[in-house]
Amino acid sequence: MSERFEPTSLDKLEKQYDLVVIGSGSAGLTTAIKAAELGLHPVILEKMLTVGGDTKRASSGMNAAETFVQTEQGIQDSVGQFYYETLRGGHGQNDPDLLKYFTEHGARAASGSTKKGSNLTT
């Protein structure tokens, strides 16, 4: 790679932005979008040369239970089952509080992303 990047001075960043988001995966992008909706001026700092992190590698929709898609398709699922399956997949090493939050909010994240234009069907 021949292009050389020069760091932006912190003074300049401080005047332009009021929130620094680290990482440009789904967590970072969602945070930045929400912050902008709330009237803030976020900047996303990404260490890699491309945007998206692992998020751009996800290929089978979004892990979630009791989603609107499942309701539409008559698929029976439960947040409790999702919790225990994910705990098993993590060999019991998952942080229980984070896992509880993740499994309880997956459906909301799926509908919120879809409303914002994400296509989770592929």
Ligand X SMILES: Cc1cc2nc3c(=O)[nH]c(=O)nc-3n(C[C@H](O)[C@H](O)[C@H](O)COP(=O)(O)OP(=O)(O)OC[C@H]3O[C@@H](n4cnc5c(N)ncnc54)[C@H](O)[C@@H]3O)c2cc1C
Residue 66 sits in the site that holds ligand X (CB under 6 A) = no
On whether the CB atoms of residues 121 and 58 are closer than 8 A, the answer is no
Q: Is the dihedral of CA 53, 90, 93, 62 positive or negative?
A: positive
Residue 40 sits in the site that holds ligand X (CB under 6 A) = no
Pick the binder of ligand X from 17, 19, 25, 100 (CB under 6 A): 25
Residue 121 sits in the site that holds ligand X (CB under 6 A) = no
Q: How many Cα atoms sit within 13 Å of 75 on the Cβ side?
A: 12
Amino acid at 20: V
The site that binds ligand X (CB under 6 A) totals a number of residues, namely 21
Q: Tell me the window of 5-13, 31-39, 47-55, 76-84 that interacts with ligand X (CB under 6 A).
A: 47-55
Residue 13 sits in the site that holds ligand X (CB under 6 A) = no
Residue 59 sits in the site that holds ligand X (CB under 6 A) = yes
Apex 19 CA angle, 17 and 25, nearest 5: 115
